[in-house]
Structure 1
């Protein structure tokens, strides 16, 4: 598996958390000073102490001699704990330079594959951080490094370099011409069909599709996801079912705007529900859970809009991804939320049928549905919700209870 800078390998983690470590190497610590014993005899008093031998400073960036994997692994482990002495931008660049020399030294040696993976991952991460800090020539240097490493006679180095090159192309898909994008999608699809299902290739494919969606190329993103899913399914991989489901679910979600949504299940009281029952009303479909902090932070906003717009035809359908039914029921009893709540009482959690249908991988997640039963927005939290409700239902005819209460004393005077 590739050790990517986006998921930071253990060693390259050093350069990401540069300013976060407060550790020093064990060799850098001064030994505790022992108190001198009081002289009890005349002979002891006349003894003179020999001056302690000066300890040579240890260079934490000095790579040990030889290729013993245990020694090198211990060195790398200690290297992670080396703090940045000068935490200025210049000091951090200097620290990165020392780490880069370590990576270069390791790559020059005949090491075990795992150590070479760490070394190339470390080098790539450092060059990425140079680019992020706008060091002149950093991007060119990174490209040159990968091009040279891709020709390395050691398979592990060459293969990882080629994979990093592919990752770069995926990350820069927005800068490619349409024909180049299409070629990259076909390449990624082919990779998914060859050999065992590889988590890196799956991630690259999803990254490419999501980037296309963010660029507004929804049709291309959906086509890519369907192609990826088809190729994975064709391999018959035992691990492919969940990946295919996620890809197809993401494709469904991307095509929701302007189309009907399928939501059904059992309410908290056990009765069946289908969103078609609410046609003619504006509906907020809200995926949430009692353990989700951001979900709970959004509840007051949803409650306020429900109070303002319910009489004008606004409904909310909460879909809880809680695994603990008892915790959910206690929460609902305490908060007295007045809207519809669906829950799949089988411990499904993230495996909830509605969540799986649209590849919900993070909450809170919400969809806003208009009076015709068609989705009008996949983003409807915070200030966006009241604005969209006003567009669909007109201005609110009453003020929130909190504002009315605040105005009451003025009216009584």
Structure 2
């Protein structure tokens, strides 16, 4: 192997391509055979030191030297030991991690960059594994004194300070120099005796903005319990913050770090400049929104990252009494977190070991991701949640938990791939529930998408564009029919250019509802024909079948409107468990509703159907529904939140009735008289109200 390497290195024609391939080979071999890997690495370094272009030589040699760390990380199984400990937190597992990291950092070939990497890794897991991180920090600090120069040690301590301060946060008092938006000093001491929520946020942080409405709700809920909310903006661009607050009035005071920000830093990057704010380092904040709860005793009780977690902590804080002087806790010594003059104070006091402490985890939602999970754990969590079956995805709290984890991952520094997956997972789960008529999650989806409206990354912008188009089509009931065509054309172009899946079902049903507003039958058929063809090409079986039905209705000689005057016979199993007794409805005027839970216009009609059902005399008027959901779970999930007092023919029986009577567009409604004959066909209660009233008149006394 070494002889072959010599041959390659002595080739005068070798270029950068050869360099890159050699690096990959050395890394691969070094991970299997450490000694051989280092021999090859040293030989390659010596060779590239000899090239004539000295500037290029220095750059290439530095790049090669970084491979030493890669080889050592594999030799000491750093990744494997960390992963094992995170899966099963045993004392032996913890010791294995400490030993592996110690061996790595003490090795003669370890570079200063390895210390930086380990500092970053400890920061990622500090909140979840504080006892492990405490010991790791001791190892890093001790070995750095032996291996790093004074300048390198100072840089490392600055990096580790944020992690140490986070470990020390709970039980500390906060005294960070801050000022109000009008420049007055902020008095932290004035907060004592209250429960305080400090929302660390920024105007450029989408999840922060999405959290504001939920925080406002919590503020109202706890308004009579002496709870104060404060917004601590880490915005480096103070002008942008001022302009934001002029447009969006917040229900709480906003404070900022009491320092002047260098305009040049803002020009270089406002986000990076914001993360240099002293408050973020003093409190050990690595992701926003960060919601710090201060108890009535003036000490930090918790830091969480979502309104859902905050409510749990507020319940605890408002029901607790201030701790006495001899209270036992993990943090016996009161610390004050300070940051002055733009310089953070490096706190070397670490909290005591928490291995033997019993941690109470109060989580109202069993599906929430682990509190303070790092970005890799959040990514794994979201990937796992994507694979859950519908029976689990439809459970209470599931969608909320996924959204909460996604917003936490978006607030952390991570690659675009991580952020895109977070958005895709949250959108898919929230949209699925919104399409089943969950109004709260529909609003949560709207808030989430609005928070991402300014994100220019193509994959995220595509989700926003789809959502905005869908919302415009849903709102098209307010458009006059002569204004519908441009919107339908735009929607058709969009759908034709994209691969359609189940997420497009709601848009498809809304499009059909919009088409049904046309009075002209030929116009409806033409629209059904072109949209049906697009829908039928979907990978979703439900949407494809829907498209085929629409296409069929556009080419059929007859349609449901030609059923008027003909008898209607209904049969089949209902959601009540028995057979529908259609004969028992004789003598009544009956509204028949063909619908599906994924059909937004169908759900929009439900309150109107319920209103007329409650208004009219049950002896004279009734309702029977025919549900066309292919999934029993979808119908059951919708029914949990929207129980109807009338029967639904479900499953294969419902779909057979739709096929029998040529029902393709949803919702389709029929008014049937006391003899069982169809009096009118339409797509809304409003359109059929006159037919219902006229049918009831002969029965009036």
User: How many pairs are equivalent?
Assistant: 266
2:113 to 196, 199, 205: 199
The answer for unaligned runs of 5 or more in structure 2 is: 1-10, 45-66, 262-272, 320-442, 444-701
The alpha-carbon distance between structure 1 residues 241 and 118, as it changes in their structure 2 partners (threshold 3 A), is: same
Residue equivalent to 2:36: 151
Cα deviation for residue 296 of structure 1 reads 0.6
Cα deviation for residue 257 of structure 1 reads 2.4
Residue equivalent to 2:134: 222
Q: Check conservation: 1:317, 1:340, Cα contact below 8 A.
A: yes
Cα deviation, 1:9-46, whole Å, max 9, x if unaligned, reads: xxxxxxxxxxxxxxxxxxxxxxxxxxxxxxxxxxxxxx
Distance 1:150 1:274 in 2: 60
Q: Which stretch of structure 1 is more off in the superposition, 270-279 or 235-244?
A: 235-244
The alpha-carbon distance between structure 1 residues 242 and 297, as it changes in their structure 2 partners (threshold 3 A), is: farther
Residue equivalent to 1:381: 306
Residue equivalent to 1:163: 73
2:277 to 342, 352, 375: 352
Q: Check conservation: 1:170, 1:207, Cα contact below 8 A.
A: no
Distance 1:318 1:147 in 2: 52
Cα deviation for residue 243 of structure 1 reads 3.0
Are positions 1:251 and 2:146 aligned together? no
Cα deviation for residue 331 of structure 1 reads 1.0
Cα deviation for residue 212 of structure 1 reads 6.7
Residue equivalent to 1:302: 215
Distance 2:249 2:139 in 1: 45
Q: Check conservation: 1:209, 1:224, Cα contact below 8 A.
A: no
Distance 1:317 1:173 in 2: 40
Distance 2:289 2:280 in 1: 11
Distance 1:208 1:351 in 2: 19
The alpha-carbon distance between structure 1 residues 287 and 68, as it changes in their structure 2 partners (threshold 3 A), is: farther
- CA RMSD in angstroms, aligned pairs only: 3.4
Cα deviation, 1:243-280, whole Å, max 9, x if unaligned, reads: 31231221121122234334331111111124332111
Cα deviation for residue 298 of structure 1 reads 0.9
Residue equivalent to 2:290: 365
Cα deviation for residue 390 of structure 1 reads 2.7
The 3-state SS of whatever aligns with 1:368 is: strand
Distance 2:127 2:202 in 1: 27
Residue equivalent to 1:286: 199
Q: Check conservation: 1:370, 1:376, Cα contact below 8 A.
A: yes
Residue equivalent to 1:41: none
The answer for unaligned runs of 5 or more in structure 1 is: 1-65, 74-110, 125-144, 395-401, 403-413
Distance 2:303 2:239 in 1: 30
Residue equivalent to 2:434: none
Residue equivalent to 1:12: none
Cα deviation, 1:317-369, whole Å, max 9, x if unaligned, reads: 22212121111011112211132322235225222111121332322222211
Residue equivalent to 1:180: 96
Cα deviation, 1:53-92, whole Å, max 9, x if unaligned, reads: xxxxxxxxxxxxx89544x72xxxxxxxxxxxxxxxxxxx
The alpha-carbon distance between structure 1 residues 309 and 263, as it changes in their structure 2 partners (threshold 3 A), is: farther
Q: Check conservation: 1:263, 1:274, Cα contact below 8 A.
A: no
Distance 2:133 2:152 in 1: 23
1:117 to 23, 26, 32: 23
Q: Check conservation: 1:209, 1:225, Cα contact below 8 A.
A: no
Highest RCO, 1 vs 2 (Cα 8 Å, sep ≥ 6): 1
Distance 1:161 1:189 in 2: 13
Distance 2:134 2:244 in 1: 38
The alpha-carbon distance between structure 1 residues 309 and 249, as it changes in their structure 2 partners (threshold 3 A), is: same
Residue equivalent to 2:236: 323
Cα deviation for residue 239 of structure 1 reads 4.6
Cα deviation for residue 304 of structure 1 reads 1.6
The 3-state SS of whatever aligns with 1:383 is: helix
The alpha-carbon distance between structure 1 residues 358 and 211, as it changes in their structure 2 partners (threshold 3 A), is: same
Q: Check conservation: 2:195, 2:228, Cα contact below 8 A.
A: yes
Cα deviation for residue 210 of structure 1 reads 4.7
2:252 to 319, 339, 351: 339
Q: Check conservation: 1:226, 1:247, Cα contact below 8 A.
A: no
Cα deviation for residue 292 of structure 1 reads 0.9
The 3-state SS of whatever aligns with 2:174 is: coil
Residue equivalent to 1:93: none
Structure of larger gyration radius: 2
Cα deviation for residue 238 of structure 1 reads 3.1
Distance 1:208 1:250 in 2: 7
What TM-score do you get using the length of structure 1 for normalisation?
A: 0.55
Distance 1:375 1:306 in 2: 19
Are positions 1:313 and 2:226 aligned together? yes
Cα deviation, 1:167-203, whole Å, max 9, x if unaligned, reads: 4355336165344333234335536xx7996223321
Q: Check conservation: 2:173, 2:298, Cα contact below 8 A.
A: yes
> Which residues of 2 match residues 392-407 of structure 1 at below 5 A?
392-393=317-318
Distance 2:73 2:149 in 1: 24
Q: Which stretch of structure 1 is more off in the superposition, 227-236 or 254-263?
A: 227-236
> Which residues of 2 match residues 2-21 of structure 1 at below 5 A?
none
The 3-state SS of whatever aligns with 1:305 is: helix
Cα deviation, 1:360-383, whole Å, max 9, x if unaligned, reads: 232222221111122222215131
The 3-state SS of whatever aligns with 1:310 is: coil
Distance 2:116 2:195 in 1: 37
